[in-house]
Amino acid sequence: MDAKAHREVWKILSSLKEKGGTILLTSHFMYEVKVLCDRICILRKGKTAFSGTVSEAVKSSSCDKFEDAYLWYVERAEKTDENF
């Protein structure tokens, strides 16, 4: 998506969020998740690796930043997958 379209989509999503609407967003961009999402679910091979808020994800991981926490959950789930 080009920069102009991206900006327009963000305006629409931000407006929906302000109005209390529910948005199901799939993103690999952690800055989008931090800004737009009240609750998150981190998936690994279709299974939940984490569910909660961004701050809960950081707090319950061994990391200080959300992007690092995301990677921590995914890597932890990968190790679990290896045990099967």
Give residue-wise pLDDT tens across range 19-29: 998 888 898 88
- Residues in the chain, total: 84
Residues 82, 16: Cα–Cα separation, whole Å = 40
pLDDT band at residue 81 using 50, 70 and 90 as cut-offs: low
- Could you tell me the pTM of the whole model? 0.77
pLDDT for 84 equals 40
Residues 64, 84: Cα–Cα separation, whole Å = 30
